[in-house]
């Protein structure tokens, strides 16, 4: 069992700029061919102020702030035997290339199933642009204790 | 009904076979360097015959299917449960199925299956109408 004292653990927020090259690399990696994400003229022709980031891109810059592997280290859990069980995103405003994003993460729940064979850790992330929450996400991490041992 | 017209009943997409290069590129772009996705030895040690496709890569493919059709700003919520595993070399099927439209927001049920027909992702998307 993971000590529930870690519920409420929060990272110190850090700020990151959304770089064009990274968004382009991410698009290449996910098979995204729409130049709206890296060509400013295409974005502006589409009525956008700048190139938007793809919906799940926030997970990539979240890792620059603090990866889930980093969080597992705080909990004293080896990454072996760990699986990603659930992920959600809620979007309040679009994030664009050039934005400066403030990111923080918080462990909001820890629980077990199957008589302790499986542990679950729930982590919320907040993404702020100009002091307003642009998006949030929630990750559920599954730790298979037999595999981790 | 006119208000339903912008929201098709289903969207589908196929992707694959997912290659070693796809997984290496996603590891580099996302910062998720977990060897489970890259190294056969590590994958086999934890019970998988081949490296496992990042759940977030599958989710990115689902999101891409939605943003290509509706525009990236139309997506207000995405939720996926990683119900199973996709392995390197597999071809994946993606589907979004319209459940209902409430107050100009469409609710799509999401699913991803691997080539054995097993479920990889189940989820939900909220799509708003862009004005």
- Domain residue spans of chain A: 4-148
Which candidate from B15, B56, B73 shows the least CB-CB separation from A59? B56
Residue A54 contacts B, CB cutoff 8 Å? yes
The fold adopted by the segment(s) A4-148 is Thiol Ester Dehydrase; Chain A (3.10.129)
pLDDT of residue A11: 97
Contacts of A34 in chain B (CB under 8 A): 68
Q: Whole-angstrom Cα distance, residue B102 to residue B7?
A: 12
Q: Which residue has the tokens 């990683």?
A: B82
pLDDT of residue B4: 53
Q: Whole-angstrom Cα distance, residue B115 to residue B87?
A: 10
Instruction: Reply yes or no on whether the pLDDT at A147 is more than 80.
Output: no
Contacts of B46 in chain A (CB under 8 A): 80-81, 147
* Structural domains present in chain B: 2-18+53-128 (3.10.129.10)
Instruction: Reply yes or no on whether the pLDDT at A111 is more than 80.
Output: yes
CA dihedral B90, A26, A65, A1 (to 10 degrees): -10
Which candidate from B45, B46, B55 shows the least CB-CB separation from A84? B55
Region A21-39 average pLDDT: 97
Beta partners for A123? A107, A139
CA distance B42 to chain A (A): 9
The residue count of chain B comes to 131
pLDDT digits (tens, 9 = 90+) for A83-105: 899 999 999 999 999 999 999 99
Contact between residue B24 and residue B55 where contact means Cβ atoms under 8 Å apart: no
Pairwise CB contact (< 8 Å): A59 & B47: no
Contacts of B47 in chain A (CB under 8 A): 147
Contact between residue B54 and residue B30 where contact means Cβ atoms under 8 Å apart: yes
Global confidence as pTM: 0.94
Q: Whole-angstrom Cα distance, residue A61 to residue A63?
A: 5
- The DSSP secondary-structure symbol of B28 reads H
Low-confidence ranges of chain B (pLDDT < 50): 1-3
Please count the other Cβ atoms lying within 10 Å of the Cβ belonging to residue A78: 13
pLDDT digits (tens, 9 = 90+) for A42-62: 999 999 999 999 999 999 999
pLDDT of residue B3: 46
Contacts of A53 in chain B (CB under 8 A): 72
Task: Please name which of B72, B47, B42 lies closest in space to residue A37, comparing C-alpha atoms.
Answer: B72
Percent of chain A with pLDDT over 70: 99
């Amino acid at each position: 069992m993971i000590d529930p004292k870690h519920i409420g653990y929060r990272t110190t927020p850090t700020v990151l700029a959304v770089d064009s090259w990274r968004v382009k690399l991410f698009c290449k990696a996910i098979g995204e061919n729409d130049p709206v994400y890296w060509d400013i003229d295409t974005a502006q022709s589409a009525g956008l102020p700048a190139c938007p980031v793809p919906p799940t891109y926030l997970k990539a810059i979240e890792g620059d702030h603090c990866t889930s592997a980093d969080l597992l280290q705080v909990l004293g859990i080896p990454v072996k035997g760990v699986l990603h069980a659930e992920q959600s995103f809620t979007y309040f405003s679009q994030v664009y290339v050039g934005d400066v994003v403030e990111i923080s993460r918080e462990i909001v729940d820890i629980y077990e199933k199957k008589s302790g064979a499986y542990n679950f850790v729930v982590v919320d992330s907040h993404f702020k642009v100009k002091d307003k929450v642009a998006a949030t996400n929630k990750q559920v991490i599954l730790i298979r204790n037999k595999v981790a041992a | 009904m006119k208000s339903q017209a912008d929201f098709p009943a289903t969207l589908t997409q196929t992707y694959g076979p997912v290659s070693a290069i796809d997984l290496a590129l996603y590891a580099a772009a996302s910062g998720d360097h977990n060897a489970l996705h890259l190294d056969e030895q590590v994958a086999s040690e934890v019970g998988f015959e081949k490296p496992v496709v990042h759940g977030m890569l599958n989710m990115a493919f689902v999101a891409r299917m939605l943003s290509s059709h509706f525009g990236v700003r139309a997506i207000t919520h995405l939720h996926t449960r990683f119900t199973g595993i996709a392995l390197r070399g597999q071809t994946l099927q993606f589907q979004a199925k319209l459940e209902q439209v409430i107050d100009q927001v469409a609710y799509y049920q999401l699913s991803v299956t691997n080539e054995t027909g097993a479920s990889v992702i189940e989820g939900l998307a909220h799509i708003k109408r862009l004005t």
